[in-house]
Amino acid sequence: MSENRRKFLKTLSIGTAATLSTPTQIWAKSTKPLQATLADLKNDDASEAYWETVRSQFQFAEGLVYFNNGSLGACPKPIREATMNFRNTLDDFPSKYMWGGWKDEIEAVRKKTADLFSVSEEEIALIHNTTEGMNLIASSMDLEPGDEIISADHEHTSALNPWKYWQEAKGVKLVTPTLPIVPKSVDEVVANYRKAITPKTKVISICHVVNTNGMILPIKEVTAMAHEKGILVAVDGAQGAGMFNIDLKDLACDFYTVSAHKWLFSPKGVGIFYAKQESQQQLKPLVVARGYEDTSIRRFENYNTRNLPEVLGFGAALDYRNAIGSQKIHERTYDLKHYFRDAIKDNHKLILKTPEADTLSAGIQVLEVIGKDVQEVKNRLFDEFGIDSRPMSKFGLNAVRLSFAIFITKKQIDTLVRALEMIANS
């Protein structure tokens, strides 16, 4: 700083001018507590002690045991801190970072996201949530009255309503196959989609993991069948991404949209939108702002002023995830699922209503306590044991939905099982 400027600032009694850090310095400073955490996670250990360490890095209200990640994901402490630091940086010098100051950092988040799904960064937009991604797809399609969209009965309203609003209202027909609740095989599910296809089908809209009972839908098989007939496939990946390994090149769907604030443990309000390079020309931006002429995938995230600290916080959440390792997370999810299912398998009052095969379910399981109403079970789990779950009564499930995210330990599953047994026997 020049001597003149120093003197000038002194006369204004505002001390010396703030040192303006570079984005790289900001990233290093904001994620400092995270770096220490990452060092503890990067090893081959997959013991229960390791996962207890992971659990200790998540913070919940006192006494809360959180089996409800499917509703909203938790965010580890160092990610919360990093996000807060990014927010403070933004507010310390409000105009510097919003329109380009963090360009390289945002591009780095895009690249990490692309790597997570084995696709190109030119196929990833950083949006706000799955609902937005589904609206983007549904509002874009130039469909004619009489064309058909397949959307099965288990779809979430965020994936269904955009099609109703943008397409059904103009005469496009929504075809709704009924899916089996507890199928025994992938073929059983694929058959329902096959039967629903007609020469007028233009799009299959399908979720990766249904929010009702945690069933995984066979995206790869349905996509292969659809593409043979020139049908586009749009996937609601809200409950899939982060729960288990996903290779979007291999699944081959056209569009895949995610809420990073569920199984990727991001700060809230960050979503991912994947559009296969060759399918991008089908799309139109949902919001039109300065720079809309951009022909790259970035045109779908162009909201002008937006939640950049959260997007950078999501980048930090990806660093957290990468320190543990995707494969380790994948295996842990299935380990927790098997541990839980084994623990209740001989109890005839606790009935699982999620398919058993690993190809058909992972980190979400639903369970009925025979003779009890699900709302009572949900309330008692919470009031008597501090366990949060989600009641599901759709499709006659009468079952609590339990999410097995990586911050859940086997000790907590033991507590959950004891609680369910006590409720069943009372």
Ligand X SMILES: Cc1ncc(COP(=O)(O)O)c(C=O)c1O
**Interface residues toward ligand X, by CB under 6 A:** 129-131, 156, 158-159, 207, 211, 236, 238-239, 259
Of 236, 406, 203, 392, the C-alpha closest to 321 is 406
Nearer to ligand X, 89 or 131 (CB): 131
Q: How far is the CB of 12 from ligand X (least distance, A)?
A: 46
Residue showing tokens 């789990």: 381
Q: How far is the CB of 392 from ligand X (least distance, A)?
A: 11
Structure-block tokens of residue 373: 């109403």
Residues 6+ apart with CB under 8 A from 403: 67, 68, 69, 70, 71, 363, 364, 390
Nearer to ligand X, 378 or 380 (CB): 378
Nearer to ligand X, 31 or 129 (CB): 129
Residue showing tokens 């965020």: 158
Q: How far is the CB of 223 from ligand X (least distance, A)?
A: 18
Q: How far is the CB of 340 from ligand X (least distance, A)?
A: 20
Q: How far is the CB of 306 from ligand X (least distance, A)?
A: 16
Distance CA 108, CA 90 (A): 18
Nearer to ligand X, 259 or 361 (CB): 259
Q: How far is the CB of 154 from ligand X (least distance, A)?
A: 9
Nearer to ligand X, 131 or 333 (CB): 131
Q: How far is the CB of 136 from ligand X (least distance, A)?
A: 12
Of 151, 138, 157, the C-alpha closest to 178 is 151
Long-range CB pairs of 131-134, under 8 A, 24+ apart, other chains included: 131/158, 131/162, 131/259, 132/257, 132/271, 132/273, 132/286, 133/236, 133/255, 133/257, 133/258, 133/271, 133/272, 133/273, 134/158, 134/159, 134/162, 134/163, 134/205, 134/234, 134/236, 134/257
Nearer to ligand X, 217 or 424 (CB): 217
Q: How far is the CB of 207 from ligand X (least distance, A)?
A: 5
Alpha-carbon distances of 69 from 198, 275, 364, rounded to whole Å: 37, 26, 9
Distance CA 333, CA 263 (A): 11
Nearer to ligand X, 215 or 275 (CB): 215
Nearer to ligand X, 207 or 329 (CB): 207
Q: How far is the CB of 106 from ligand X (least distance, A)?
A: 20
Alpha-carbon distances of 381 from 65, 384, 392, 403, 408, rounded to whole Å: 10, 6, 14, 14, 16
Nearer to ligand X, 34 or 109 (CB): 109
Q: How far is the CB of 333 from ligand X (least distance, A)?
A: 16
Nearer to ligand X, 212 or 409 (CB): 212
